[in-house]
Structure 1
Amino acid sequence: MRRHLLSLVASTVSLALVAFLVPLALLALQLAADRATADALVRAQSLVPVVSAGGEEGLALAVDQANSGDGSPVTVFLPGGAVLGAPAAPSEAVRLAFTGRSLTAEATGGREIVVAVQGRPGGAAVVRAFVPDAELTRGVTRAWVILGLLGLGLLLISLGVADRLARSLIRPIAGLAGVSHRLAAGDLTARAAAEGPSEIRDVTAALNHLAGRIRELLAQEREAVADLSHQLRTPLTVLRVEVEGLPAGEQATRVAAAVEEVERMVTRVIEEARRSRHEASGSCDAAEVVAERLEHWSMLAREQERRVGRDVAEPPLRVGLPEEALAVCVDALLENVFAHTPEGTAFTVRLHPRPEGGALLEVADEGPGFGLRDPSGRGVSSGGSTGLGLDIVRRAARRSGGTMTLGPAPEGGAAVTLTLGPPPR
C-alpha cells in the first residue's frame, strides 16, 4: 500500500510539474530571444540619426564605437554599395530593407534586425544588427537548471509528505494485522489501538468487538463442557455406591479401579475446560508419565496375553506439554491398540530424547495396521469408535510445538509417532 501510494503521488506530481515547468522553460527561451532581439534593435536604431544626417567619417566613427562593446555586431549598408562596420554580405532582408521596410528575419547562425533609413542623398540606407544563436539563448541553460532543481525539490517534498501520510495509514493497519495474528495464535486478550482515519478506527473497533465476543463464546463453551462433565459425577457416585456393595474380590477391585479412572478423567475434563490456553501450557517429565501410564495398561495387557515392549528413556525427560495432556495422549494411543487389534497382539512403546530438545514417543503394534489412509481426521473411524482419539493426540502434539505421524510399524502393524517439543522458556 505504501509503495502504491508513493507511486500514485509521484506520477501525479510529475504530470503536474511537466505541465507547469515545460511552458516555463519555453517562456524562458522566448524571453531570452526577445531580450537579445530588443537589445540589437536598440543598438541599430541608435545609429539611425547618424546615418540619416550623412557625413561618412562621423558615421564610420559612430559605427566603430557601436561595435566596440559586447553585443550584436552592427553593419551599415549605404546606397552606393559601401559597407561600414562588421563585414556582412547583403541578405534578402537587407535588400528588402532598401525598399524602405524595416524587419527582423532569421539568418544562418542567428537572427538579423534590419532598419531602413530614409533621408540620405542617393537613396535609403540600411542598418543591420546580427544576433548570434548564443546570444539568443544566453541564460536559458541556467534558467532550465533552476527550473529542473525546483521541480525535483517539489517532487521530493511531495514524496516525503506522501510517505508520512502512508506511514500514518499503514501503522494502524499493521497493528490490526498483528492483533489478528495474536488472536489466531490463541491470545484472546489481544486488542488493537484505535488510531488512524475514521474508517480504520471502525475496523479496529469491529476487530476488538469480535475478539471480545470470541472470548465470551469460548468461556461459555468451556463452562458448558465443565457443567456437562460435572453432571456425570452423579451417576458415577451411584455407580461407586453400587460397587462398594459388591462382594469383595478381584472383580470388585477391577470395577472400583475403573470407576476411579472414570472419575479422574471427568475431573481432568472439567479442569481442562475451565483452563485457558495460556494456563494450559506447561511441561512435565515425559519419562515418568509414560512409565506410569504404561504400568497402568500393563495389567490389562497381561489379562489379554499381550507382549509389551518397553524402550523408555530414564527420567528426567522434559517436554512442553502438561502432565495431564501427555497422559491423555498415551492413554488414547494405548486404548487404540487394545480396541483395534485382536487379543494377544504385542505392542511396543518407545520414548527417546531429541537432540534439539523434547522427546520422540512411538507406539507400534503387530496388528493389521491402519485401514484408512489418514485415520487422524476428527470423527473418522473404521472400527466403531468416535474417531476423536488420534485427533486429540495430534492437537496435543502441535500444542507442544511438535507433530504426529502415522505409518507402518517395523513389526508389521501400525505405528504412531509423536514429536514433542521442549518446555517453554
Structure 2
Amino acid sequence: MRKRLWLLVAGTTMLVLLAFLVPLAVLVREFAEDKALSRASDAVQTVVPLVGDVNGLRLSVTAQAVPLTVFLPDGSAIGAAAAPTPAVRLAAARGRALSVTTDEGREIVVPVVGAGGTTVVRTLVTDAELTSGVTRAWLTLAGLGLTLVLLGLLVADRLARSITKPITELSEVSHRLANDELTARAAPSGPRELREVAGALNHLAGHIQELLAAEREQIADLSHRVRTPLTALRLEAESLRDPDESARVAAAADEVARAVTAVIQQARRRDQPPSAAACDASAVVRDRVAFWAVLAEDTGRELRQSLPSSPLPVAVAADDLGAALDALLGNVFAHTPDGTSFSVTLSPRPGGGAVLEVADEGPGFPSSEAQRGVSAGGSTGLGLDIARRAAATFEIGAGTTGGASVHLSLPGPTAPREA
C-alpha cells in the first residue's frame, strides 16, 4: 500500500508540475527573447535621431552596449564591422524597418531616409543573447519541481505510515490469535474505519475466549460426571469372584479413568502457550505400546516395534501423544480381524521432532474416510482427528505389506506447528 501511495502522489505531483512548469518554461524563453530584442531596439532608436551628424552618430554608436552598424548613403559604415546583408539592402530599397531571423540570430535593420540618401542602422541579436539566462531558469524550475516531488513523497510516506502501521498491528494480532495467544488485543489507532476493525477484532477475540472457557467447563463437567459410573464399575470389578476377571475389568476401568483425567488436563492446558507442551516421545510411545502389547497377545496379533533407545523430545504434551497413539492402535484393533499384524515405528525427524508410523496388514481404508466425524464402522469418527491434532503433518496411505499406514510428523521443541 505504501508503494502505491508513493506512485499515486508522485504521478499526481508530476502531472501538476508539468501542467505549470512547461508553460512557465516557454514563457521564460519568450521573456528572454523579448528582453534581448527590446534592448537592441532601444539602442537602435537611440542612434536613429543622430543620423546626419556623423560625429555625434559615431560617438553614440560606440557608446551603445549593443553592437551597431550604420551604413551611410555613400557606402561607408560606422560602428561594428559588417558587410551589407540582404536585409540591409531590402530596407534601404523599401524604406521600411525589418526584423529577420538568420543563422546567427535575429537581425534588426531600421532605414532613415534623408536628403542625401538612405542611412540604415543595423544590429544583430545572437542566439546566445536570445537565450541568455534561460538554461539557468529552466534548471531552477527543474530543481523546484524535484523538490516538490520529494516533498510530496515525504508527505505520502507519512500518510502511508499512519494507515499501514495500524493494519500491520492488526495483522500481527490476528496471527497471534491464530497461534493460540488469545490474550492478544489490538490498540485502536489510525483512521476511523481501522479503529472499528480493531474493536471488532478485540470483540471477536473476547468472544472466542468466552466460547473456549465454556467448552472447557462443559468438558470438565462431563468428565466429572463420568467418574461416578467409573467408581461403580470398580466396585463391581472388586466383587467379581474370578481374580483374573476382576483384575482385567479393574484395569479397564483405570484406563478409562486415566483417559478422563487426560481430557480434563488437556482442557486446562489450553490456557498455556503452545511452547509449554513437550515430552519424550520415546518414553510415551514405549509405555503405550507396552499397554497394547497385552491385548495384541490376547488377540493373536504380531506386534513389531522400532523405537529409539535415546530420548526424543517433541513439542507435544505426553497426554496428547498418548491419546493420539491410543486412537491409532484402537482403530487397528477395532477395524482389522484378530490375528492381523501391525507395527509401530518412531524415528527422529530431520530438523528436530519425530516421525511416528502405525501400519497394519488389514484391509486398509480410503483417505476420503479420514475426516473428522466420518467413519464407516459406526463410531464417532474422531479417532484420526485426535491423532491429527497432535501432529504437525498427518498422512494416510498404504503400508508396504498392504493395509493402512498412518504417518504423524511431530514438531520439535522449538519448531512451530505447520498449518
TM-score (norm 1): 0.89
> What secondary structure does 1:274 align onto?
helix
Q: SS at the partner of 2:216?
A: helix
Output aligned runs, 1:70-219, within 5 Å: 71=66, 73-79=67-73, 82-85=76-79, 86-92=81-87, 95-96=90-91, 101-102=96-97, 104-117=99-112, 120-219=114-213
What are the Cα deviations for residues 97-134 of structure 1, in whole angstroms up to 9, with x where unaligned?
Answer: 7655445443443223333435x323553322221222
Which residue of structure 2 aligns with residue 272 of structure 1?
A: 266
AA at the equivalent of 1:141: T
Give the letter aligned to residue 401 of structure 2. E
Deviates more, 1:317-326 or 1:98-107: 98-107
Deviation string for 1:14-35 (max 9, x for gaps)?
A: 0111122112211211111111
Opposite residue 137 of structure 2, the aligned amino acid is: A
Change (3 A) 1:291 1:87: closer
Counterpart in the other structure of 2:400: 410
Distance 2:343 2:37 in 1: 107
- Determine which of 297, 317, 320 is the counterpart of 1:322: 317
Residues 38, 289 of structure 1: CA spacing in aligned structure 2 closer, same or farther, 3 A cutoff? same
Q: Give SS of 1:15's match.
A: helix
State the distance in 2 between where 1:49 and 1:363 align: 119
Q: Which residue of 2 aligns with 1:35?
A: 35
TM-superposed deviation, 1:334: 1.2
Report the CA distance between 1:13 and its aligned residue.
0.6
- Please state whether the residue corresponding to 2:359 is helix, strand or coil: strand
1:351 aligned partner: 346
After superposition, what is the alpha-carbon deviation per residue over 1:55-74, rounded to whole angstroms, capped at 9, x for unaligned? 445534543x24xx753x32
In 2 relative to 1, CA 393–36 (structure 1 residues): closer, same or farther, beyond 3 Å? same
Q: 2:84, 2:342 → 1: CA distance?
A: 119
Pairs within 5 Å for 1:43-62: 43-51=43-51, 54-60=52-58, 62=60
> What 5-or-longer segments of structure 1 have no aligned partner?
none
Contact 1:365 1:413 in 2 (8 A): yes
Aligned to 2:24: 24
User: Of 291, 309, 320, which aligns to 2:286?
Assistant: 291
In structure 1, what is the Cα distance between the partners aligned to 2:328 and 2:59?
A: 122
Distance in 2, matches of 1:262 and 1:211, equals: 34
Q: Does 1:342 align with 2:332?
A: no
Q: Aligned equivalents of 2:123 and 2:354: distance in 1? A: 101
Which of 294, 298, 301 aligns to 2:296? It is: 301
Amino acid at match of 1:204: A
2:19 maps to amino acid:
A
Match in the other structure for 1:332 = 327
* Mean Cα deviation higher: 105-114 or 133-142: 105-114
Moved more, 274-283 or 311-320: 274-283
Verify: 1:239 aligned to 2:233, yes or no.
yes
Q: CA contact under 8 A between 1:360 and 1:418: conserved in structure 2?
A: yes
> 2-side partners of 1:29 and 1:353: how far apart?
80
In 1: Cα distance, 2:288 partner to 2:53 partner: 134
CA distance in 1, matches of 2:273, 2:103: 93
> 1:333 and 1:45, CA in 2 relative to 1: closer, same or farther beyond 3 A?
same
Which residue identity does 1:328 align to in structure 2? A
Instruction: Give the conservation status (yes or no) of the 8 Å contact 1:101–1:116.
Output: yes
- The SS at the match of 2:84 is coil
Cα distance in structure 2, aligned partners of 1:206 and 1:404: 34
1:39–1:98: structure 2 CA closer, same or farther, 3 Å change rule?
Answer: farther
Matched letter for residue 346 of structure 1: S
Alpha carbons of 1:375 and 1:277: their partners in 2 closer, same or farther (altered >3 Å)?
A: farther
Instruction: Kindly state the Cα deviation for residue 207 of structure 1 after the two structures are TM-superposed.
Output: 1.3
What's the CA shift string for 1:243-287, capped at 9, x where partnerless? Answer: 333334322222222122112212221221233163564222222
Contact 2:340 2:362 in 1 (8 A): yes
| CA deviation map 1:195-234 (0-9, x unaligned) | 2222222211111111111111122122222222222223
Q: Is the 8 A contact 2:360 2:404 kept in 1?
A: yes
Query: Corresponding residue for 1:419?
Result: 409
SS in 2 for 1:47: helix
Give the corresponding residue for 1:379. Answer: 373
TM-score in terms of structure 2 length: 0.90
Contact 2:302 2:342 in 1 (8 A): yes
> For the Cα contact (< 8 Å) 1:97–1:114, is it kept in 2?
no
Q: 1:269 to 1:113 in 2, by over 3 A?
A: same
User: For structure 2, which runs of at least 5 residues remain unmatched after alignment?
Assistant: none
Distance across 1 between alignment mates of 2:109 and 2:23: 30
Over aligned residues, Cα RMSD in angstroms? 2.5
Distance in 2 (CA, whole Å) between partners of 1:296 and 1:57 is 134
Kindly indicate whether the alpha-carbon contact (under 8 Å) linking 1:50 and 1:59 is maintained by their aligned counterparts in 2.
yes
Identity of aligned residues (%): 53
Task: Give secondary structure in 2 for the equivalent of 1:232.
Answer: helix
CA contact (8 A) 1:307 1:346 kept: yes
DSSP 3-state at the match of 1:379: coil
Quick one: which amino acid aligns to residue 59 of structure 1? L
> How far apart are the structure 1 equivalents of 2:92 and 2:221?
116
Output the CA distance in 2 between the equivalents of 1:199 and 1:356: 43
Residue 363 of structure 1 aligns to which amino acid in structure 2? Answer: V
